[in-house]
Amino acid sequence: MNACVPIYSGQICGDELSLIPEKNYDLGFVDYSTMLMMGKNPKLVINFQVMEYGDYFGLIIPKYYGVTRLTSKPKKSGGFQVGRKSKFLREFLTLFPDQSVKRLDRFPMSRFQGVMIKGRVKTVTKSFNQRKIPESLQYSVIEELLKIKNL
């Protein structure tokens, strides 16, 4: 995404994060990757695209999950393991209650493909150390994946 995209408080260009109004949106799965945040905290990042027609259609919004450990190098479609009480496991089984989970390091991420998911988007206003982020640097993330939307 090299072009600038208008948003309600200005515009974003290149790899900058999107800022959209807080509300529940229809989302479509794009991809996922694993990373080490600040060099040591393993994270799963799932990217979703806003699927509602309007000013924000097509914008990519991430959903971040803390994971127990990475089972491969940090990369696109990388391996990860979650805990039994993790937010990812709870949301995954809420969305896909028919899915059996025998191992906490193997999830069929393909379940996210081809479905519309209702998700709550929030604006990040504070940094990791709870300092206020200037308004022009604030961005949106998915706070919670709520349900599969019936088409």
| Structural domain that includes position 29 | 5-149
Q: How many domains does the chain have?
A: 1
Q: Is the distance from CB of 77 to CB of 86 less than 8 angstroms? A: no
Q: How many CB atoms lie within 10 A of CB 125?
A: 12
Q: What percent of the chain has pLDDT over 70?
A: 89
Q: Which positions of the chain have pLDDT values less than 50?
A: 1-14
Q: Which helix (H) or strand (E) holds 118?
A: strand 116-124
Write down the pLDDT at residue 16. Answer: 65
Q: Please tell me the pTM assigned to this model.
A: 0.85
Write down the pLDDT at residue 151. Answer: 63
Q: Give Cβ neighbours of residue 85 (< 8 Å, ≥ 6 apart).
A: none
